[in-house]
């Protein structure tokens, strides 16, 4: 019997090493649309944006006292998005119009609380359908001053025509259980969003690619002069910290952890790389940690992927707001 000629997909990926229009969701969404269009015009099937790209990573929490940041927190809530809001709908339409997949980081706000935010990301298909919506499970260090805990609802690998795509946000890539959860779903393309800390991010990403036998996309945010000047004007004492901070890098890794394709660091730009997912197969013969190189009779991992909500209604009477409407109708 002749060997199978069926091949895994090959794809072109774009990683946008870019700054938001700081704390301006409308302008940042417009910039995002232009970048999606540019990536599509350059032949990319998947375009990736940085962590909380819309409309800012709250870097001020790293260099200014919390008591002095209330105004920026309020501003961030105003410039954050609902997952079912008009801004996400526009981005979905853009992906549909240009036939491209997009993975976008954003600050998400809650319908249940005017002061609840999540560090979130969304994977949009080339048909405009939301394929995955993830909220960072545990904010890192000073991020806890801004974002609430997420959940595991978004620990999902999307099986798409261009490959099986998963993602984690920055420090989540340090969590071996979260990473294994994605590996166990056959992940072939791993997206990790990060802001800075080049060496640690490169190490964590390479380790995951080597263990998962998957390609990696590292997509970093960029602090431009407008962002830096805004923050220094708000608190001049943070200038030294900001000016000494290392800018992040956007790059790509193959299933051995080796770097491939373009790299962008210290400036705005789009990096590109070509992935041939057939390269994920051979390394599995050596170490398949979710297959023949694993002892599932010894180890067991259970993941609760329920979306966490502040209240669960157990009667068929509806929510209080719907009951109010019923009473008014009567």
Question: pLDDT of 20-48, one tens digit each?
Answer: 999 999 999 999 999 999 999 999 999 99
CA within 13 Å, CB half, 265: 16
C-alpha 209/C-alpha 229 separation (Å) is 37
User: How does the average pLDDT of the chain come out, rounded?
Assistant: 93
**Containing H/E element for 97?**
helix 86-98
pLDDT for position 76: 98
Domains of the chain: 10-311 (3.60.110.10)
C-alpha 158/C-alpha 48 separation (Å) is 15
Structural contact between residues 203 and 249, judged by C-beta atoms closer than 8 angstroms: no
pLDDT for position 318: 57
pLDDT for position 292: 94
pLDDT for position 193: 78
Q: What is the pLDDT along the chain (330 residues), one digit of tens a residue?
A: 455 556 999 999 999 999 999 999 999 999 999 999 999 999 999 999 999 999 999 999 999 999 999 999 999 999 999 999 999 999 999 999 999 999 999 999 999 999 999 999 999 999 999 999 999 999 999 999 999 999 999 999 999 999 999 999 999 999 999 999 999 999 999 999 776 678 888 899 999 999 999 999 999 999 999 999 999 999 999 999 999 988 999 999 999 999 999 999 999 999 999 999 999 999 999 999 999 999 999 999 999 999 999 998 888 765 555 444 433 333
pLDDT for position 201: 85
C-alpha 209/C-alpha 301 separation (Å) is 20
pLDDT for position 199: 82
C-alpha 97/C-alpha 37 separation (Å) is 9
Q: How far is CA 299 from the centre of its chain?
A: 29
pLDDT for position 45: 98
What is the chain's length?
330
pTM for the whole structure: 0.93
Query: Which residues of 163-292 form beta strands (DSSP E)?
Result: 163-169, 189-194, 215-220, 249-253, 259-265, 269-276
């Amino acid at each position: 019997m002749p060997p199978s000629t069926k091949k895994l997909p090959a794809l072109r990926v774009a990683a946008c090493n870019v700054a938001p229009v700081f704390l301006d969701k409308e302008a940042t969404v417009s910039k995002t649309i232009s970048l999606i269009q540019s990536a599509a015009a350059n032949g990319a099937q998947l375009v990736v944006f940085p962590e909380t790209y819309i409309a800012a990573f709250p870097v001020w929490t790293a260099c200014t006292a919390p008591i002095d940041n209330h105004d920026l927190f309020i501003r961030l809530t105003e410039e954050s998005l609902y997952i079912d809001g008009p801004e996400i709908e526009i981005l979905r339409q853009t992906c549909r119009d240009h036939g491209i997949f997009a993975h976008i980081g954003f600050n998400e706000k809650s319908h249940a609380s005017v002061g609840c935010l999540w560090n979130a990301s969304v994977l949009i298909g080339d048909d405009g359908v939301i394929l995955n919506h993830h909220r960072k499970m545990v904010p890192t260090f000073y991020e806890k001053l801004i974002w609430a805990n997420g959940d595991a609802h978004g620990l999902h690998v999307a099986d798409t025509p261009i490959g099986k795509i998963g993602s984690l946000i920055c420090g989540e890539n340090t969590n071996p259980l979260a990473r294994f959860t994605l590996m166990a779903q056959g992940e072939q393309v791993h997206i990790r969003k990060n802001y800075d800390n080049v060496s640690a991010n490169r190490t964590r990403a390479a380790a995951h690619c080597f263990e998962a036998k998957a390609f990696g996309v590292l997509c970093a945010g960029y602090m431009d002069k407008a962002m830096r000047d805004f923050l220094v004007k708000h608190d001049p004492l943070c200038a030294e910290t900001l000016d000494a901070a290392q800018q992040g890098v956007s790059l790509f890794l193959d299933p051995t952890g080796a770097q491939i394709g373009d790299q962008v660091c210290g400036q705005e730009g789009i990096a590109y790389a070509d992935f041939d997912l057939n390269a994920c197969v051979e390394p599995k013969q050596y170490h398949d940690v979710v297959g023949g190189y694993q002892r599932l009779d010894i180890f067991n991992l259970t993941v609760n992927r329920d979306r966490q909500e502040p209240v669960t209604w157990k009667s068929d009477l509806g929510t209080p707001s719907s009951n109010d409407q019923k009473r008014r109708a009567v």
